[in-house]
Structure 1
Amino acid sequence: MESLYGSFRALPLSISIPLTIGIVLVIAIARNVIGQLYFPDRNRPPVVFHVFPFIGSSVQYGIDPYKFFFDCKAKYGDCFTFILLGKPTTVFLGQKGNEFILNGKHADLNAEEVYGKLTTPVFGKEVVYDCSNARFMDQKRLLKLGLTTEALRAYIPKFVKEVEDYVNTSPYFKGETGQVNITEVMAEITIYTASGSLLGNEVRSMFDSTFALLYRHLDDGFQPINFVMPWLPLPQNRRRDHARNVMEGLFANIIRQRREQGNQGDETDMIWTLMDAQYKDGTVLPDIHVARLLIAILMGGQHNTAASGAWLFLNLAHKPHLVEEMYQEQLEVLGSPPAPLTWENVQKLTLNGQVIKETLRLHSPIHSIMREVKSPMPVPGTEWVVPPSHTLLASPGTLARSEDFFPRPLEWDPHRWDKADPLEKPVDDSQKVDYGFGMMSKAVSSPYLPFGAGRHRCVGEHYAYAQLGAIVATFVRLLHMEQVDPKVPIPATDYSSMFSRPMNPAVIKWRRRKSE
């Protein structure tokens, strides 16, 4: 033994160091594998088998989360644990899983510790996940004040005008026909419509110059690595921090000017709403909170809408007969030529709404909803307990892709919604709860939950439907759309970013409609 040790010490460092690292890795791998095979903890959900510690199942999950979930479900059932970059992450699928996680008590399950590391450097401090849960719920209540039906009614004409101006002036739409990367188009359209409606003319005009670059730099802060190490001195993180500081200053100037000039008309954008708002304790929102909440509402929903819109038009391009069916619906319902799009008129376009609904079912931008476990959580119907060292993960999108609820679940078929949805049952008052931002359903049994559920359900749900509804209806009025090559399948999903979007190239062919 001594001779072996002596021989090892005699090795040059260029050999001994890699050899030592290799031995340590082999021992760690062996210990990890043996522990899983021979010493599983029967009091916890089964662990997805993996060879490498720390890495665990991160690669399989990152490449295709839904495939990973369904493969694990077939082997382990609805509840199982996998290692995500060293963190034990317990997945609980199905309706029981949604109830367990999405309706969990805040004292037991915490979203701030999961998402705060990512959002605080982008939005700023003291808002969203960087404040108490009660204050965050109150901020959501204030944001909802700017998303009323009356506000949405005023936003629809703005959405329509933005799309019309874009199609008439963008270099993507030169001439009578052409091809466009629909992912890039939707990224621009959604930010123009959101800024113009929610934040007013001052901000919208800046998106042609100042705000556009700042927005891109802020957007770069939404990188998966920042879930784990947001403090890394990466170039994009330095640009993110600078962009947030500058954008805060720009919003502060707009707020100051508005306070000096007063509301000259009946403007109803989100800036005015928050400037005049108070927290429940009577505290007037500080201007810095207003500025940071404006950043949050601008950044928070744009990705989801842009990704959903891109998927929607890609699917329509593969079924151009549906584009014409949607156009004929407008002629039949709104007259020929069709009447201007208003809030009421968009609601009348049944197929237009079904196209959006089917896209959100099949292409939900968020595949995983996570909560940090703060106290031991017994799993109903089992002897398992999820400990505070774990993260809990719900995936409502798996139900939307299940044959138990949707025939041919991976087929994009808007006409599956032609009949009244039996899965969406009326909710009585006993199933409603106020988390601090208004009464809402606490039911999570529906297989269709594209905007989440529980206390962290998206407050911009109705705005997103209105925005997409107006954008889609306007595009259908202006353009014929089809696939460049009908034989090429719809692009695969890019799961490498924070939001599930189409892989490039995501190109469709367009042709302007003649006056009809």
Structure 2
Amino acid sequence: MSALLLLLLGLLSLFFFFCLLRGRNRRDGEPPLIKGWIPFIGKALEFGQDAHKFLEKHKRKYGDVFTVHLAGKYMTFIMDPLLYPSIIKHGRQLDFHEFAAKVAPVTFGYPFVVPALQEQIHRSFKLLQGDNLSTLTESMMGNLMLVLRQDHMGGERGGGWRSASMYDFCNSVMFEATFLTMYGRPAGASRHSGMSALRDDFVRFDNMFPLLIAGIPVWLLGRTKAVRDKLIGYFLPHRMSCWSNTSEFIRTRSGLFEQYDALRDVDKAAHHFAILWASVGNTIPATFWAVYYLVSHPAALQRVRQEIHDLLRLDGVEFSSDADLALDREQLEKLVYLESAINESLRLSSASMNIRVAQEDFSLRLDAERSLGVRKGDFIALYPQSMHLDPDIYAQPQSFRVDRYIRDGRLKTDFYKDGQKLKYYLMPFGSGSSMCPGRYFAVNEIKQFLCLLLLYFDLQLEEDQSRATQDLSRAGLGVMLPAADVRFRYKLRTV
């Protein structure tokens, strides 16, 4: 063994020893501390393999509250959903926005935003709700019809089956329709050229998204920076200025960026790219799972399809597969079985982690009997997937039940844990100040896509393939992607 290698091994041993000496120890009043033996890494590798399994194992051992060392961060997990309101109501001492403001610029490649602009950007998200939601919903309906009719409705009615990969099918339609709805159409055309290539680059970036969020420098991730730069380039102001029918949300944000001379054109474009990811990064996999579970349960699919036909009949709409369909926001709200099916698929597929960062050392009151010591800079985390799969809350939690969120013909909102009604029982979109501002638009998009798919097409899974499973590498970041795509068949219905 060379002298240089011996020196390196010695230095490495000293580093490990130094890290162990500096390791954090539990103080009085703090929850159990799970450190792991690998310096800095802690329990990150075990957590990353299966976060839900990891947390449930330690819940059985340590109880409902414990702190885990994960990649240099100390995260205190609150596992009892009855305690969620105690965390969510804190504003000053537990903050989300500071964390997001640090992570997003590094992930999407734009500079840190001054507080004044950050506040204006935050206010712009209101344009995804209220009356503006109706306009967005109407636009999305037209764009879904456009893409589906041009790409998938050719040929004779009652023609043969077509075979496709389900995630790729959902991705291609939802990505382009959402893009057109948010950013508008190119000059002199109804669809952007090169959309397939743009989507492929987006997928390449999205595959690296968990590593970027974890803090891995982009220059260590192969061609990820080049792919991100290419995606950002699509949104440069001189390109976007030629697009028409752009949503008010994007127009408003573009106007805000123009007011700040410190922002370069590439910085403005990076902000728009971040919104593209926010618009489709979780909505597309959520759409896939909703389609997959319905197609996997033909009786549930037929129940939802019948509800849509009943709505059209009651509203005096004579559906024809030869004509385009328009469903507005008010009509979508009446489809309770459809909403229950989407909620159920979100329950089974979402694995978001709700994070707050302690702004100071303080004692966090959990309930009338319990408080815990929290250190400045620590993360307080809720992991709703554990609640979503809790058999005490949801009977047979691994099963898809299309009517799980329905009672007496209306959406069910009362779920219980240990005999107490839960304030929070379904949390795919975050909570409190970190709740996704585009959640209403996202759910409407999925509803519209499912309505069109069920009305215009017959759908079947292909035989001799394994059931879809989840890619666990996305745990904590939102809706899981499928570990592998599934094959299905579709053909035009003769209605």
Give 1:423's aligned residue: 413
| Cα offset, 1:245, TM superposition | 4.8
Q: Does 1:449 align with 2:427?
A: yes
Give 1:430's aligned residue: none
Give 2:348's aligned residue: 362
SS in 1 for 2:223: helix
| Cα offset, 1:391, TM superposition | 1.9
The Cα offsets for residues 338-378 of structure 1, whole Å up to 9 and x where unpaired, read as 372311433333322221111112211x4212233221132
Q: Does 1:473 align with 2:451?
A: yes
Give 2:50's aligned residue: 64
Give 1:393's aligned residue: 381
Q: Does 1:316 align with 2:294?
A: yes
SS in 2 for 1:151: helix
| Cα offset, 1:293, TM superposition | 4.2
Instruction: State TM-score, norm by structure 1.
Output: 0.77
Structure 1 stretch displaced more, 322-331 or 104-113? 104-113
Aligned residue pair count? 466
> Could you tell me whether the CA contact under 8 Å between 2:96 and 2:433 is conserved in 1?
no
> Could you tell me whether the CA contact under 8 Å between 1:482 and 1:508 is conserved in 2?
no
Matches within 5 A, 1:96-107: 97-106=83-92
Aligned CA distance change for structure 1 residues 96 and 240 (closer, same or farther; 3 Å)? farther
SS in 2 for 1:481: strand
Match for residue 400 of structure 2 among 391, 412, 415? 412
> Could you tell me whether the CA contact under 8 Å between 1:373 and 1:391 is conserved in 2?
yes
| Cα offset, 1:402, TM superposition | 1.9
> Could you tell me whether the CA contact under 8 Å between 2:182 and 2:246 is conserved in 1?
no
Matches within 5 A, 1:30-429: 40-48=26-34, 50-95=36-81, 97-106=83-92, 108-113=94-99, 116-122=102-108, 124-125=110-111, 130-132=113-115, 135-147=117-129, 148-155=132-139, 156-168=141-153, 176-202=160-186, 204-208=191-195, 211-212=198-199, 215-216=202-203, 218-219=205-206, 222-230=209-217, 232-243=219-230, 245-249=232-236, 251-255=237-241, 257=242, 268-274=247-253, 291-335=269-313, 338=319, 340-343=325-328, 344-364=330-350, 366-380=351-365, 381-382=369-370, 384-419=372-407, 420-421=410-411, 423=413
Name the larger-Rg structure: 1
**Structure 2 counterpart of 1:191, which letter?**
F
Give 1:439's aligned residue: none
Structure 1 stretch displaced more, 218-227 or 457-466? 218-227
Q: Does 1:490 align with 2:476?
A: no
Structure 1 stretch displaced more, 299-308 or 184-193? 184-193
Give 2:3's aligned residue: 13
The 1-side partners of 2:20 and 2:109 are apart by: 44
Aligned CA distance change for structure 1 residues 122 and 401 (closer, same or farther; 3 Å)? same
The Cα offsets for residues 64-104 of structure 1, whole Å up to 9 and x where unpaired, read as 11222222222212211111112211112233553344333
The 1-side partners of 2:359 and 2:114 are apart by: 17
**Structure 2 counterpart of 1:477, which letter?**
L
The 1-side partners of 2:6 and 2:217 are apart by: 35
| Cα offset, 1:190, TM superposition | 2.0
Structure 2 stretches lacking a partner, 5+ long: 416-420
Aligned CA distance change for structure 1 residues 244 and 40 (closer, same or farther; 3 Å)? same
> Could you tell me whether the CA contact under 8 Å between 2:99 and 2:357 is conserved in 1?
yes
> Could you tell me whether the CA contact under 8 Å between 2:469 and 2:482 is conserved in 1?
yes
> Could you tell me whether the CA contact under 8 Å between 2:338 and 2:447 is conserved in 1?
yes
Q: Percent of aligned pairs with the same residue?
A: 16
**Structure 2 counterpart of 1:472, which letter?**
L
| Cα offset, 1:394, TM superposition | 1.6
C-alpha RMSD of the superposition: 3.8
Aligned CA distance change for structure 1 residues 346 and 287 (closer, same or farther; 3 Å)? farther
Aligned CA distance change for structure 1 residues 142 and 241 (closer, same or farther; 3 Å)? same
| Cα offset, 1:407, TM superposition | 1.7
| Cα offset, 1:205, TM superposition | 1.0
**Structure 2 counterpart of 1:374, which letter?**
Q
> Could you tell me whether the CA contact under 8 Å between 1:45 and 1:81 is conserved in 2?
yes
SS in 2 for 1:310: helix
**Structure 1 counterpart of 2:40, which letter?**
F
Instruction: State TM-score, norm by structure 2.
Output: 0.80
Structure 1 stretch displaced more, 466-475 or 445-454? 445-454
> Could you tell me whether the CA contact under 8 Å between 1:316 and 1:322 is conserved in 2?
yes
Aligned CA distance change for structure 1 residues 31 and 162 (closer, same or farther; 3 Å)? same
The 1-side partners of 2:289 and 2:364 are apart by: 36
**Structure 1 counterpart of 2:165, which letter?**
N
Structure 1 stretch displaced more, 389-398 or 227-236? 227-236
